[in-house]
Structure 1
Amino acid sequence: MAKAKLVLENGAVFEGTAFGLIGETSGEVVFNTSHTGYQEILTDPSYAGQMVVMTYPLMGNYGANEYDIESSKIWASGLIVSELSEIYSNHEAEFSLDEYLHSQGVMGIDNIDTRKLVRMLRTEGAMRGVISCAELGDDELLKKAKSIPEMTGQDLASKVTTPASYSAPAEEEHAKFHVVAYDYGIKRNILRMLTAAGCTVTVVSAQTPAHRVLALKPDGIFLSNGPGDPDAVKYAIESIKELSETTENGKHIPMFGICLGHQLLSLAFGAKTFKLKFGHHGSNHPVKNLLTGSIEITAQNHGFAVDPNSMPENLELTHLNLYDNTVAGMRHKELPVFCVQYHPEASPGPHDSHYLFKQFIGMMEEAKA
């Protein structure tokens, strides 16, 4: 196995072993607290431009396959683990995690102190970094790390969105609703949840203007997850603003946003966003539903959040992140519009927030009545 180094923009150097593609990669280094689901994490488009550190020490022990994926490819630019299992055992496994990364052209590094690395990221914040076994000079790698564009100001939705619209038919023979889903980095399990609920979904690119969405006659509009800085996606904010002001037969079209879609929806109504110190990434984040008082364990993956002090009077805070009291969900006081910062469709889990899809269905039923 080839020796490799991870060098961060603060000058920290971690020596380890390369796996997957042997070469060099870079990105913003963030950590994920999930114990499982590494394949779904790697294929989540929200990780575009980022290298993921898994806090759980052993990865790869159940292998990988062609099915446990959330998009057509790995979007994370690198994987950082404490120990990569050389053996795997699972009845659905088709190949090892090492083989999977290599086939996708993605580099990983193991045999490093991920505990030390995560404590550093928690203290100093997410940092740009380089993994390399091609260039092992610390000074040169540090220069490369510092030259990586910062996440703030980057529109990455335009890089991960679908180039052409497509349709996902409802599982039922006769669809109950037609949903238009904006693809800012949409995950496949979102489509599974919507189609299982009786919706035919038309997925459109992030840049699709409002008038083209309205021409599709949607019963509801879904705003997906995605990577990058929400404030940089100006075209999406303008389209959402126009759609929220449009009525069909005297009624507004229900809208449901998650993750980046939540942030874009908030910006469209006049709120502001800011970059979190190290973001929220994992499948064990507690959120309080302020409307019911119940606690949900949620999956989260975002580096930006909505500033609660910037929320206009017509937006109501509905969910609160119990780790740091950041905004985890809101709804419009007058329109059939709501959004959450986390992933209710979470695959492989948890499933505490599936009720939000039922809430969206209920809004469309009311709008059609």
Structure 2
Amino acid sequence: MKYQKRQKAIILLADGTIFYGKAVGNKQGTAFGEVCFNTGMTGYQEIFTDPSYFGQLMVTTNAHIGNYGTNSDEIESDSVKIAGLICKNFSYDYSRDDADKSLEDFLNENNLLAISDVDTRALVSYIRDNGAMNAVISTDVDNIEDLKKQLSEVPNMEGLELASKVSTKEPYFFGDENATYKVSALDIGIKKNILRNIAKRDVYIKVFPYNSTFSDLESFNPDGYFLSNGPGDPEPLVDAQNVAKEIIKRDLPLFGICLGHQVIALANGVSTYKMHNGHRGINHPVKNIKTGKGEITSQNHGFAVKREEAEAHTDLEITHVHLNDNTVAGLAMKSKNCFSVQYHPEASPGPHDSEYLFDQFIENIKNK
């Protein structure tokens, strides 16, 4: 095995708890972020490049990470977005014919600090009990007090606006310009597979920066509007909320996913809150209230919509619920052409039970 004498590393949590591991490869350094975990057994490359994970230290619960390498076609953005990686067993060798490179090389190219040989079962259990919190991973194991001081200065995820860190700087197009329908998408952390799923339904998309106005999106003369997933707290995204309000006021077809779902709730005066440890994985059970059917879904969010406020809203109906904790997983407006879900119907990684939601969006456009 490579790197027999790898450097010691630590995970220091904001409450002072320490877990131990070793640096992956020869990489040394320090990385800060909110520590969270994903229960998916596959799809690590897509997770690492998902903009929704920006600013987070990712704990992978699958025991082996890196065993099938990476492939350039399986990224969800232009770079790795997690702040650092924490895993149990890191595989330096890989065994997939269509892999481009090893995960180690992929992480090194993106200058990402990763630590392995961590008791991830104990760490995940601790996060489940005590909640997601800020943490630092570091190879500087002899300077604990200095790391604590630096960690105390890292802002909490609650109240943190991160869409500006991952959004496109300039508008761009995606799909076939001769497609039947056009959609304006607000990029507050969009995944490429969302764009693929919309585009393959005969849609040409123009993607706009996070701080674009309704007039900007309207200038494309679209048939529908989309609000993307993304990182951070939805409450500071006042510009995005104003865009949603304008679309809703005009009763134009609107679809939101994850952070976009939360923005739509806020645009309707319904609050959001930071969850204890969030939902992150590819096997989350959701019930479609309208059909009575269950869906196994891919999820990645640390904030949620307040259910009691959604239930009390006269023009909102809860369309989907998370079966583990009864949190709001989907909303629709009764008098407007607007709906949203908290989870990821594009999966990548994950099951395809919820792809029908993209079809529903197109049907809403057709019937507007």
Q: 2:149 & 2:117 partners in 1: Cα distance?
A: 24
Instruction: Give yes or no for the alignment of 1:5 onto 2:4.
Output: no
Partners in 2 of 1:168 and 1:16 — Cα distance?
42
**More displaced 10-residue stretch of structure 1: 98-107 or 11-20:** 11-20
2:353 match: 352
Counterparts of residues 167-316 of structure 1 (less than 5 Å): 167-170=173-176, 174-246=178-250, 252-311=251-310, 312-316=313-317
1:142-164 CA deviation, whole Å, 9 max, x = no partner? 22222211001111011110000
CA distance in 2, matches of 1:140, 1:122: 27
- 2:111 paired with 1:105: yes
Distance 1:52 1:88 in 2: 21
Contact 2:248/2:337 (CA < 8 Å) preserved in 1? Answer: no
CA distance in 2 between counterparts of 1:111 and 1:135 reads 15
Q: Which residue does the alignment assign to 1:152? A: 158
What is the distance in 1 between the residues matched to 2:288 and 2:239? Answer: 31
The whole-number CA distance in structure 1 between the counterparts of 2:256 and 2:275 is 20
Matched residues in 2 for 1:298 and 1:218: separation? 29
SS in 1 for 2:24: strand
CA contact (8 A) 1:317 1:329 kept: yes
Question: Distance between the aligned counterparts of 1:135 and 1:349, measured in 2?
Answer: 36
CA distance in 1, matches of 2:261, 2:111: 31
User: Matched residues, percent identical?
Assistant: 47
- Aligned counterparts of 1:22 and 1:296: Cα–Cα separation in 2: 42
Give the partner amino acid of 1:54: T
Note the C-alpha offset of 1:10: 1.3
Report if the CA contact (8 A) 2:8-2:141 is conserved.
no
Runs of 5+ unmatched residues, structure 1: 247-251
Deviations 1:282-337 (A, max 9, x none): 11100000000101000000000000111211000000001111000010001110
Q: Which residue of 1 aligns with 2:125?
A: 119
Count of equivalent residues: 360
1: distance between equivalents of 2:111 and 2:71? 16
Question: Matched residues in 2 for 1:361 and 1:54: separation?
Answer: 35
Task: Structure 2 unaligned segments of length 5 or more: list them.
Answer: 1-5
Instruction: Tell me the alpha carbon deviations over residues 209-247 of structure 1, each in whole angstroms, 9 at most, x when there is no partner.
Output: 01121121110001100000000111111121112112x
Q: How does 1:85-104 map to 2 (within 5 A)?
A: 85-104=91-110
Following TM superposition, the consecutive aligned residue runs of length 4 or more in structure 1 with deviations greater than 4 angstroms are none
Equivalent-residue separation in structure 1 for 2:171 and 2:216 (angstroms): 11
- 1:42 corresponds to which of 33, 41, 48: 48
Greater Cα shift, 137-146 or 280-289: 137-146
CA distance in 1, matches of 2:239, 2:178: 34
- Counterpart of 2:150, as a letter, is K
Matched to 2:354, the amino acid is: S
- The match for 2:136 among 120, 130, 135 is 130
- Letter of the aligned partner of 1:334 in structure 2? S
